[in-house]
Structure 1
Amino acid sequence: MRADYHVHTEFSDDSDYAMEKVIQDSIAMGLDEICFTDHVDYGIKKDWDEPGKMIYRKGSPGEPDEMPLANVHYPSYYETFKEMWALYHDKIELKLGLEFGMQAHTIEKYEKLFARFPFDFIILSVHEVEDKEFWTQDFQRGRTQKEYNERYYEELLYLVENYHNYSVLGHMDLITRYDKAGTYSFEKLKPILTKILKTVIADGKGIEVNTSSYRYGLSDLTPSRDILKLYWELGGQMITIGSDSHKPEHLGRFINETKQELKALGFKKFCTFDKMQPIYHQL
């Protein structure tokens, strides 16, 4: 069983990878199942129909000169998914998801969005805190390495304690990717990581392994082997594997390598989802 459970399409504002092309490429490479998880980041991005000034980015090749920095156009996303399912469901399993880039002050908006569509799978990610993004260093600026790492995990802990309509935590140590000071000590973070993971397990949720660590050239997995080992030791078993693909060259990459890493850590199974319920498969 080969499944990619973190896939972005042209409905994410940082991708121009057409949904149908994603499906065709997935079939060609022998994937059995994919889940679309396009971006929603309330706080820093507007919905397409939201009043007020829209922010734009420079268009990528093949796009208009300017593209709106906006969340998924939900009705079009859902209708396109249904069309693609009708065309391709006999060739590959297709699942409907979103990646919720959550913050403490945006929970209410995600509650409303979750109620609108029949999702199979939701990734809870933290891409920014206090409306400050990591990749720009806006969040880290003015804080010590200790302060921004602890603040990031405090936000994540608050979210898992107060929001429950999700399936797995996405790339849960994402802050590491953008930490110019190097990797912060796992032992120093272990107490709050333990609280987060215990909450996730008690709530019947899971975590993902995000294979983008390979293409970013990171020295560890995402999340780290230490976090994955801690999750296993605490009794966690619900794991998904996703490429976080935005381009054809990302799709389905390093899934087999990730399975071997999970086996080495003691995991026996990984998950896909249907209507927000996990389905377990042998690694």
Structure 2
Amino acid sequence: MSFLPADYHLHTHNSGDSEAPMKDMVESAISKGLTEMCFTEHMDLDFPITEQVPEGLFTLDIPPYEKDLFSYREEYKDRIAIKYGIELGLQPQILADNKAIIQNHGFDFVIGSVHLLDHKDPYYYSNYWSAQDEDSVIRRYFESTLENIKLFSDFDVLGHLDYIVRYTPSKGADYSYFKYKDIIDEILSLLIEMKKGLDLNTKALVSGNENPNPGIDILKRYHELGGRIITFGSDAHVPDGVAGCFDKAKDIALKCGFDSYYTFTKRVPCANTLN
């Protein structure tokens, strides 16, 4: 019998961009046959304020999040394992704050994600693309990612590595790993050296794209270079999205050479067979 991997990228009403009750997310995971899930609420400090993003929207209030999670962990302990995670936004000016967050809380799992480029969010910032060509912005995004993970390494997997491609005006029509191979290989090599993994993020697959984030060629290259740590993440913000396109993502991972995926307890990775 084939089982879906654990979903290790999930958001609820504790994240500023979701209204989903945690209980509904748990029930959805159980209904889809998951035996493990990890909530990874947004903590993106110093996020730029815009008309769409009020101050503090992505600053996680950790005590109520913990209360929610530990309550449901106990309630559903005989039906599903619920892990305590966080998705940290990486920026150079918040290194000390991010370090303190990790040190002061007993997370099972930490995603490090780069959502902002030079303190702007290409998703919300309507004029971002008008004065720049896509190739230059994408390259700068990868350069920024490399800069960030050189400065801060207290995470377990790098979130949705080529995330920015989702929001280019062309929706990545001309994008490929090979255009940016030099800088992407630097990122992958550093992750492997630091024993960090990749978030195999299926949100783009759910939207109809043939590639997850990161794309298939990046996943293949990570494996070729010796990388083995991948987690599966739907990036779901609503219950119906839990484990979205995980069957397709499993097939992609197997074709890229992976025979295992990873789960975490108290930041310690555990390999699980892909079947």
Q: Is residue 277 of structure 1 aligned with residue 268 of structure 2?
A: yes
1:172 corresponding residue in structure 2: 161
Alignment pair present for 1:213 and 2:204: yes
Question: TM-score, length-normalised on structure 1?
Answer: 0.89
TM-aligned CA deviation for residue 237 of structure 1: 0.5
Residue 75 of structure 2 corresponds to which residue in structure 1? 87
Evaluate the alpha carbon distance shift between residue 256 and residue 194 of structure 1 in structure 2; reply closer, same or farther with a 3 A threshold.
same
Whether 1:235 and 2:238 are equivalent positions in the alignment is no
Moved more, 131-140 or 211-220: 131-140
Unaligned runs of 5+ in 1: 46-53, 59-65
Kindly indicate whether the alpha-carbon contact (under 8 Å) linking 1:7 and 1:243 is maintained by their aligned counterparts in 2: yes
Q: CA RMSD in A?
A: 2.0
State the one-letter code of the partner of 1:9.
T
CA–CA distance in 1 between the matches of 2:169 and 2:80? 40
1:253 Cα offset (Å): 1.6
Look up the match of 1:18.
21
1:184 corresponds to 2:175: yes
1:154 aligned onto 2:143: yes
Indicate the residue corresponding to 1:48 in structure 2. none
1:25-174 paired onto structure 2 within 5 Å: 25-44=28-47, 69-136=57-124, 137-174=126-163
Structure 2 counterparts to residues 195-210 of structure 1, below 5 A: 195-210=186-201
Matches of 1:68 and 1:171, distance apart in 2: 23
Distance apart, 1:127 and its partner CA = 0.8
> Counterparts of 2:123 and 2:52 in 1: how far apart (Å)?
15
Q: 1:194-253: per-residue Cα shift (whole Å, max 9, x none)?
A: 110110001011001111112222242221111011101100000000110001221112
Post-superposition Cα deviations, 1:243-271, rounded to whole Å, max 9, x if no partner, equal: 10001221112112111111111111111
Q: 1:28, CA displacement in angstroms?
A: 2.1
Identical residues among aligned pairs (%)? 33
The residue identity in structure 2 corresponding to 1:199 is L
Structure 2 residue ranges without an equivalent (≥5): none
Decide whether the 8 Å contact of 1:97 with 1:119 is kept in 2: yes
- Equivalent pair of 2:7/2:37 in contact (CA under 8 Å): yes
Structure 1 residues 22, 163: CA separation in 2 closer, same or farther (over 3 Å shift)?
Answer: same
Where has structure 1 moved over 4 Å in runs of 4 or more?
54-58
Matched residues, number = 268
Superposed displacement of residue 41, structure 1:
1.1
The residue matched to 2:247 in structure 1 has which SS?
helix
Preserved CA contact (<8 Å) 1:55 1:68: no
- In 2, the alpha carbon distance for the partners of 1:85 and 1:155 equals 36
Greater relative contact order: 1 or 2 (C-alpha under 8 angstroms, separation 6 or more)? Answer: 2
